[in-house]
Every structure is written in structure tokens, then in C-alpha cells.
Amino acid sequence: MANPNVTELNDANFTSFIEAASTPVLVDFWAPWCAPCRMLGPVVDEIATENVGKFAIAKVNVDDAPGVSAQFGIRSIPSLIYFKGGLKRDQSVGVSGKGEIVSKLTALL
């Protein structure tokens, strides 16, 4: 079941969402066939639920959004990209711990 606190982004809505966000944004680039992505998914969902209004959390299915994935040079998933003020501020590749992710988001406040 999809988390109501996580926005699904694609090639059509990505830029407008990132530019309109008033809080730091975490974007999880993932795919349903990726086992590490499925491990990271619940962590991202938990962060979204615990930080409503503090951070914006979004996911991009790389299979459904080839344009955005290419724009940010996504070659390995899961990839997390951190945005603030419409600009990319940080990135991590692979499964990250909850504490590390929240720390990177908090640094953007």
C-alpha cells in the first residue's frame, strides 16, 4: 500500500514538484525488481511518516521515468538525491541507514 506522505514522481511532474517544495526534498530513485530498493523502501516510508511538514519525500520508479533518471545520471539504484530550493544538494547510492538519511535532510534545514 502506498504511503500517503510519499509523492510518486515521473518525467512529467518532477521539476514542478522539486521547484515548488518549501522544505528539503528527498527523492528515492528505485525499481520494483531491485532487492536493495525494496529494503530501503520501508525506511524511506518511515522517514516520510515521521517528518510530515518538515521534509518532502518522493519516489521515482526509474523504469517509468527514464528522462529524470538520465537527467541525474542514475546508474545504480537505490539512489537518494537531496534537494533544497529546487537544486540538488547531496546524493547517496545504495542502502543508507535511517539516521544517515535524516541527518542529511536535517543539514538542509
C-alpha cell at 75: 546508474
Catalytic residue among 6, 9, 18, 34: 34
> Is 37 among the catalytic positions?
yes
C-alpha cell at 105: 535532510
Catalytic residue among 9, 25, 37, 48: 37
Q: What distances in angstroms separate CA 88 from CA 80, 83, 85, 92, one per listed residue? A: 11, 4, 8, 12
For residue 55, give the DSSP letter: B
> Is 34 among the catalytic positions?
yes
C-alpha cell at 27: 527523492
Q: Which residues are catalytic?
A: 34, 37
